[in-house]
C-alpha cells in the first residue's frame, strides 16, 4: 500500500479508530492480510467486492469462485470464506440457551443468516420441543440451482430420532425470490398429512431468499386450505 499514507493504512486505522471506522474494502484487506505481486491487499479487496457485486455477495461465493479473481489464490480465498462463516456463526450463536421460535418472523431471523444466501437449493427442518425450543436443525436434501428432492421418510426419521414434538420445514430459493411454487405448496401439504399420521405437527414451511422469506403458515396455505387468522395464530404461537 505504498500510495496510502502510513496512518491511513487499514491496520493503523483499526488501531486508531476501531473497526467501525474502516470501510468494507479496508476490513476485507485486513482479512486478506497481504497483496499479490501485482496488487496490494486493498486492491485485492476492491476486486473481490466488485466481483461479488457488493460485500453481501461474498456470502454467495465459495473458494472456487473467489479464486477466479486475479491475485486471489486458494489461501486467500480460504481466509475470506472462513471470515464470512465466522460472521454467520456470531449471528446464530448469541447465547447458550436454546432459542424459542414462536412465529414466522422468529424462524426467518434464525434461519436467514446461514441458509438464505446458499447458492444451491437446500431443504431442511427445524426440530422443536413442546415449548417450541430448538432441538436441532438438519439439512436433509441438497439440490441443483433450482430444485431439490425430498421424501417424507427422511424428514420424519430425523424428527422421530430427535423426539421432536413439532417441526418447521424450510428451504432456500437461490433465485432471490421467496415466492412459493405450486410444487412447494404441494410438498407442504404432503408433509403435513404425513405429520398427522406420525403424530409430529408441521408448524410451518419457510422459504428463504437472501434477506427475505415467505411463510406458508402466515399465508394460510399450510394444509392446502385457507386457515382462519385465529387458527393460524394458534399454530405458530406457544
Q: Are residues 88 and 39 in the same domain?
A: yes
Predicted confidence band of residue 197 (pLDDT cuts 50, 70, 90): very high
Q: Are residues 72 and 109 in the same domain?
A: no
**Cα–Cα distance for residue pair 238/229, rounded to 1 Å:** 15
Specify the pTM. Answer: 0.64
Domain range for 120: 104-236
Q: Are residues 82 and 20 in the same domain?
A: yes
Q: What is the pLDDT of residues 143-191, one digit of tens each?
A: 876 667 788 999 999 999 999 999 999 999 999 999 999 999 999 999 9
- In sequence order, what are the residues at sequence separation of 6 or more whose Cβ sits closer than 8 angstroms to the Cβ of residue 166? 128, 130, 132, 200, 201, 202, 203
Residue 99 lies in a domain: no
Q: Are residues 231 and 129 in the same domain?
A: yes
**How high does pLDDT run on average in the chain?**
85
Residue 97 lies in a domain: no
Residue 88 lies in a domain: yes
Amino acid at each position: 500500500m505504498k500510495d496510502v499514507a502510513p496512518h491511513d493504512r487499514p491496520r493503523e486505522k483499526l488501531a486508531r479508530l476501531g473497526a467501525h471506522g474502516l470501510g468494507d474494502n479496508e476490513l476485507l484487506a485486513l482479512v486478506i492480510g497481504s497483496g499479490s505481486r501485482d496488487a496490494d491487499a486493498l486492491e485485492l479487496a476492491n476486486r473481490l467486492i466488485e466481483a461479488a457485486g457488493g460485500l453481501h455477495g461474498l456470502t454467495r461465493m465459495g473458494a472456487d469462485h473467489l479464486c477466479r479473481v486475479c491475485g486471489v489464490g486458494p489461501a486467500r480465498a480460504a481466509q475470506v470464506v472462513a471470515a464470512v462463516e465466522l460472521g454467520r456463526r456470531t449471528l446464530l450463536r448469541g447465547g447458550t440457551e436454546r432459542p424459542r421460535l414462536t412465529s414466522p418472523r422468529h424462524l426467518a431471523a434464525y434461519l436467514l443468516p446461514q441458509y438464505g444466501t446458499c447458492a444451491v437449493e437446500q431443504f431442511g427442518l427445524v426440530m422443536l420441543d413442546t415449548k417450541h425450543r430448538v432441538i436441532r436443525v438438519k439439512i436433509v436434501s441438497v439440490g441443483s440451482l433450482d430444485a431439490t428432492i425430498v421424501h417424507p421418510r427422511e424428514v420424519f426419521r430425523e424428527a422421530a430420532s430427535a423426539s421432536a414434538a413439532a417441526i418447521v420445514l424450510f428451504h432456500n430459493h437461490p433465485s432471490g425470490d421467496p415466492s412459493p411454487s405450486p410444487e412447494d405448496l404441494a410438498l407442504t401439504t404432503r408433509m403435513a398429512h404425513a405429520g398427522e399420521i406420525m403424530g409430529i405437527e408441521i408448524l410451518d414451511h419457510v422459504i428463504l431468499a437472501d434477506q427475505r422469506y415467505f411463510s406458508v403458515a402466515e399465508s394460510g396455505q399450510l394444509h392446502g386450505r385457507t386457515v382462519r387468522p385465529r387458527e393460524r395464530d394458534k399454530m405458530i404461537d406457544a
